[in-house]
């Protein structure tokens, strides 16, 4: 059971990190290279779709990492769980206000403020990418120890 939980933690953190890294290195830079209103129009459905992928991965990775620790794994598994789990409150507390402003009805999608919000969103998302990459590296290191 412990090995399955460790594998699940690693899988979820790695998938989250891969998706987050893709967003930061490919999708968001391509998006913001477009005219602001087009970038904002593309951001909204991309954000909604990514939520259905990334939120479950972070949540499952967190729960599995905690469970791995509780079933006899190293306390470092809970550290990995906390790293991937931290993306959820970070998103809800820090990123969500920017998301809500970008999604606000009546927003001038071509405005300088919209461009600033898209740029800010990319920087905030990079924090989630870093947290998930750290969690993944820790998981991979822990797996090779066993």
Q: Look up residue 122 and give its two tokens.
A: 């990319």
Instruction: Let me know how long the chain is.
Output: 146
- Domain borders along the chain are 2-145
CA distances from 109 to 26, 100, 130 (A): 22, 13, 29
Q: Are 50 and 19 spatial neighbours (Cβ–Cβ below 8 Å)?
A: yes
List per-residue pLDDT tens for the chain, 146 residues long. Answer: 999 999 999 999 999 999 999 999 999 999 999 999 999 999 999 999 999 999 999 999 999 999 999 999 999 999 999 999 999 999 999 999 999 999 999 999 999 999 999 999 999 999 999 999 999 999 999 999 86
Encode burial over 78-88: b for 16+ CB neighbours within 10 A, e otherwise: bbbbebbbbbe
């Amino acid at each position: 059971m412990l090995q399955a939980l460790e594998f699940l933690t690693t899988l979820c953190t790695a998938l989250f990190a891969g998706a987050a890294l893709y967003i930061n290195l490919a999708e968001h830079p391509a998006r913001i290279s477009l005219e602001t209103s087009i970038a904002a129009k593309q951001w909204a459905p991309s954000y909604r779709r990514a939520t259905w992928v990334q939120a479950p991965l972070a949540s499952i990775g967190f729960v599995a990492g905690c469970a791995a620790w509780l079933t006899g794994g190293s306390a470092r598994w809970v550290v990995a769980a906390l790293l991937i789990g931290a993306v959820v409150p970070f998103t809800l507390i820090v990123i969500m206000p920017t998301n809500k402003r970008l999604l606000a009805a009546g927003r001038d999608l071509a405005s300088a403020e919209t461009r600033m919000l898209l740029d800010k969103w990319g920087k905030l998302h990079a924090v989630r990418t870093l947290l998930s990459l750290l969690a993944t590296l820790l998981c991979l290191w822990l797996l090779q120890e066993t």
